[in-house]
Amino acid sequence: MIPPHLKSSEQKIIQAILFIISNAPQLNKYSLGKILYYIDARHFQTNQATITGKGYLHIERSPLPVGMNEILAKMVSEGKILVKPSIKDGKVQAMVFEALQPPDTRVFSRLEMKTLRTITTVLGRKIDDESRIFPRLYEHYIITDLFTEIDFSKLPSERPPKMDKKRKLIEIGDKIYKILFEGN
């Protein structure tokens, strides 16, 4: 048996997609792409590597992994997922995915699984809250030019600001600012 850390990035993205779709039903391609982006970006911030091994393009509605359409088409043809219409008030709202088999989570390390579970749980039902939940990661993909690859090496730090009250300094990310206090 191949150790989990030696599994290919294609296997990991397929299993990540199955995991997300199984735990957050009724996702369309763009919502799925956003969750994958936040999983990889968050993991990259702490480990300097993405889980899926994929780069991401800033598309009009969402960041999407490079080759996403081909991966989804392969998964449909292999019977791993089903694409079906989401109908509301008699109208098709979107095409959504349904997992036809459970994910094989053995391809992920414990840390990767923790990231997958956390992000999927947080964003799976509230994808529209992405800018509030992950403001720096959201801003990072939004400021990337359309149809350009998002550079993970320039991701902002998620460290909270540190304040030195004695010297009246605050550190935000890699920058230090002097604070001027005004009395009432």
- Asked whether the whole model's pTM tops 0.75, one would answer yes
pLDDT at 4: 44
d(CA 95, CA 86): 6
Q: How many alpha carbons lie under 13 Å from residue 169 in its C-beta half-sphere?
A: 8
Q: What is the pLDDT of residue 15?
A: 97
Which pLDDT belongs to residue 5?
47
Residue 160 φ/ψ, nearest 5 degrees? -70, 155
Per residue of the chain (184 residues), give pLDDT as tens: 444 444 578 899 999 999 999 999 889 999 999 999 999 999 999 899 999 999 999 998 899 999 999 999 999 999 999 999 988 888 988 899 999 999 999 999 999 999 999 999 999 878 888 888 888 899 899 989 999 999 998 887 665 555 555 555 555 555 555 555 555 4
Q: How far is CA 109 from the centre of its chain?
A: 17
In the numeric block, which tokens belong to residue 52?
């899926």
From CA 50, how far away is CA 89, in angstroms rounded?
A: 39
Domain range annotation of the chain: 4-157
pLDDT of residue 124: 84
- 141 φ, ψ (degrees, to nearest 5): -80, -30
Q: Let me know: does 66 contact 13? Beta carbons within 8 Å.
A: no
Sign of CA pseudo-dihedral 70, 71, 74, 76: negative
- Write the DSSP string, 61-95: SSEEETTHHHHHHHHHHTTSEEEEEEEETTEEEEE
Instruction: Return the amino acid letter for 158.
Output: E
